[in-house]
Amino acid sequence: MKVGIIGATGYGGLELIRFLHNHQEVEQIDLFTSSEEGVVFSSKFGHLINIADTPLQKIDYDALEQFDVVFTSTPSGVTSELLPPLIGKGPKLIDLSGDFRLKDLASYEQWYGKKAAPAEAIAKSVYGLTEWNAENVRHAPLIANPGCYPTAVLLSLLPLLKNRLIDPSFLVVDAKSGISGAGNKPSQATHYSEANDNFSIYKTNTHQHIPEIEQAISMFAGIDATISFNTHLVPMTRGILSTAYAPVMPGVTEAQLVACLQEKYEKQPFVRIISDANGLATNRVKGSNYCDIFVKVDSRTNRATIVSVIDNLVKGAAGQAIQNMNVQFDLPQTTGLDVVPLFI
Ligand SMILES: NC(=O)C1=CN([C@@H]2O[C@H](COP(=O)(O)OP(=O)(O)OC[C@H]3O[C@@H](n4cnc5c(N)ncnc54)[C@H](OP(=O)(O)O)[C@@H]3O)[C@@H](O)[C@H]2O)C=CC1
Ligand SMILES: CC(=O)N[C@@H](CCC(=O)OP(=O)(O)O)C(=O)O
């Protein structure tokens, strides 16, 4: 397979290269840039010497049409303009940004504060939450790869919501992310002296992933839910830990919640249901495509505590994107992604 990556110099792009390099069906990886044409990639990223010694190429439609797959890992507002002319032209398109996730254009413009992609292009995109949408992913010309937080939140909540085991009218999600979630562009919030030894809430009640999570709950669980969702910055590089709270439906036991999650994911290679929360931490999945999930009912409040962890750059971005590529090319989902988490 011949693969192109636009946004290769970003964190998502670097993770795509790391996994695609070890993917046995990928024989060529070309790297594209909007700002550093001609720069030899390994001269910029020394850890890739003898691995990616090719020059960065200018983004060019004729060149892009020759690939089997084009990944885009660019800031929001870029692919809404860049990708529509390429849809159906040859390569499968897998977009890591939020530009094609929301089916409602007004919602995108409200939450992202940017102009939405053309309606016809959005209509052709398929939401790439692999464990829930593989059949549609297989045939899609354009995959909207899910956001990092929505991946962690949805994988843990959807089975319980779909089976009506928890009450969707009171869903509270408290999520925390490592700093690489903000990408490679420095900012005040990610400045070492302000992020290190600190813990902060951000985008309070206004995070752009709220409509994405609500849309997916409607799409996959058939429920119109309104969630409380907040995000926090943790002084670590990678990882997301999401803690959700929801009332348990009358008569439902903890054992039923666990069984529901186990049944949904028993044949899915990347989702693991954990029986003991002790040790449930981002380092269990660091560098890997795993999502680990734990559920426990608080018998005093009759509310369930539902916890999930992912690596934001892998299952939350590049790993899931390659998992979707594997589905599209009828390869085992684990191809190129079968790595042991780093842990330390
Ligand atoms: N970081 C994460 O954990 C996650 C990120 N995402 C999403 O994935 C996308 C990429 O994220 P991330 O890798 O962190 O971002 P980065 O900021 O690290 O990298 C983005 C890259 O996009 C390229 N770029 C910037 N502007 C343009 C443009 N106008 N046209 C083409 N390319 C451009 C840049 O490369 P160059 O200058 O060489 O063109 C840059 O290196 C974002 O939309 C992000 O929201 C999704 C899930 C998780
Ligand atoms: C820590 C941090 O800043 N994380 C980013 C993740 C953004 C992201 O992944 O953006 P899209 O999915 O919307 O493209 C954030 O919370 O906005």
**Which CATH number is 253's domain given?**
3.30.360.10
For the Cβ of 314 lying below 6 angstroms from any atom of ligand 1, the answer is no
* 256, 168: one domain: yes
Question: Which pLDDT does position 316 carry in this prediction?
Answer: 98
Residue 260 among the catalytic residues:
no
Ligand 1: which residue has its CA nearest to atom 43? 97
Give a yes or no: residue 337 inside a domain: no
- Provide mean pLDDT across the span 98-125: 98
For the Cβ of 139 lying below 6 angstroms from any atom of ligand 1, the answer is no
Which ligand places an atom closest to the C-alpha of 206? 2
Distance 111 CA to ligand 1 centre (A): 18
Residue 134 has pLDDT above 90, yes or no: yes
Domain of residue 138: give its range: 2-145+315-328
For the Cβ of 317 lying below 6 angstroms from any atom of ligand 1, the answer is yes
Give a yes or no: residue 244 inside a domain: yes
Which ligand 2 atom minimizes the distance to the CA of 112?
Answer: 13
Q: Of 33, 39, 74, which is best to mutate to test ligand 1, by the most ligand atoms within 8 angstroms of its C-beta?
A: 74
* 88, 196: one domain: no
ipTM associated with this complex = 0.98
* 82, 9: one domain: yes
Catalytic: which of 31, 148, 175, 246?
148
User: Residues enclosing ligand 2, CB less than 6 A?
Assistant: 76, 97-98, 147-148, 177, 181-182, 208, 231, 233
Which ligand 1 atom minimizes the distance to the CA of 99?
Answer: 43
Residue 211 has pLDDT above 90, yes or no: yes
* Closest by CA position to 254, among listed 272, 271, 284, 277: 277
Give a yes or no: residue 194 inside a domain: yes
Distance (Å, whole) CA 303 – CA 308:
16
Question: Which pLDDT does position 276 carry in this prediction?
Answer: 82
Question: How many structural domains is the chain composed of?
Answer: 2
Give a yes or no: residue 196 inside a domain: yes
Locate tokens 């409380």: which residue? 228
Which ligand 2 atom minimizes the distance to the CA of 146?
Answer: 12
For the Cβ of 11 lying below 6 angstroms from any atom of ligand 1, the answer is yes
**pLDDT tens-place string over residues 24-82:** 999 999 999 999 999 999 999 999 999 999 999 999 999 999 999 999 999 999 999 99
CATH number, position 66: 3.40.50.720
* 193, 53: one domain: no
Q: What is the pTM of this model?
A: 0.97
Question: Which pLDDT does position 277 carry in this prediction?
Answer: 78
Q: Of 34, 151, 176, which is best to mutate to test ligand 1, by the most ligand atoms within 8 angstroms of its C-beta?
A: 34
* 126, 155: one domain: no
Distance 250 CA to ligand 2 centre (A): 36
* 104, 51: one domain: yes
* 27, 50: one domain: yes
Give a yes or no: residue 163 inside a domain: yes
Residue 327 has pLDDT above 90, yes or no: yes
* 15, 97: one domain: yes
